[in-house]
Structure 1
Amino acid sequence: MGASILFKRPQGKKKAMQTTKVVLLFKAILLVLPILVLWYDAWSQFQPVAKLTLVGYAKVIDGDTLSVGGRVVRLAGIDAPEREQTCRRSSGRLYLCGEEASQALERLVSSGLAIVYRQFAGKHLAELGQLEGEARLSNKGLWQGTFEVPENWRRKKQKNRVS
């Protein structure tokens, strides 16, 4: 009996028209909502990358793609062979050009031009510390001479701005 009361048609022509309008509005919302969700999803993928800040350990996926903190990041303005891709040398011999591109990006990441930011290294501290140690022992990048720790340099620059 309770269900029949909930679905009882309103009395009168005016109330019937109001109910019809509400039903049509509800159907329109149900029809348009998925379209808006799809549009928003597509639109959000094309937001300017400059506004995006990712923090985390960077892992090389291939020659132009990293995974940072679990998010895939494509390097802007370049394209490189996929890791499994092969190419042909001028001699006609096939080689793993995608693997070479990936290794080149890995060498760039481990070139000694950065130090471990221990405060934010988290679970990757040991691995990053090992890379830093290898760069230091090989006198690569920053380790070929002397340098100021970037965090200290930023603090000094900020202090001079305020003064």
Structure 2
Amino acid sequence: MARNFQVMRDGVVALALLAFLWLIAAKLNDEAQTAYTGRFHAADGDSLAIGDERMRLKNIDAPELSQTCERDGRPWACGRQAKEALQALVDARDAKCEGHERDRFKRLLVVCKAGGVDINAAMVRKGLAVAYGGYGPEEMQARAEKAGIWVGHFEMPRDVRDREHGARPEAGKLFAW
């Protein structure tokens, strides 16, 4: 009987020790979230600033500020419109941006919310940004509704950046929807 008690006690202690070690490992993997609230400034359709902190909206890519797209056979300032739409979304009193990763330019990669709305998703849903590693359903909705850039012809923002910085664009073609 004493032997059974020892075996059971040792098993419980070993299980408790494993659980404790698992909790420590999980805690070490947690990365601190950085959160900002306040008055944000949209630099373009997917970049924000607050004070000295520079942020980029995670998993989306908006037209470059100087980029034009084509709608009804005429150019329109889709980059400027994306910036204005982002500014309007972050102007909400309760706008909050959170993230824990940084891009190669040391910008904090963030997901922003205001009034319970995911701002990153809203930009894609409005057709003023393409999905870039996330927000696929929102992009499909924007395409189906021919919202924003999906109403006409446009170049992918990455191709515009590559051309402006001297790199050769991947496809170098316009998208038409």
TM range (shorter): 0.3 to 0.5
Higher relative contact order (CA 8 A, sep 6+): 2
Which protein has the bigger strand share?
Answer: 2
Which protein has the bigger helix share?
Answer: 1
After TM superposition, the score normalised by the length of structure 1 is 0.35
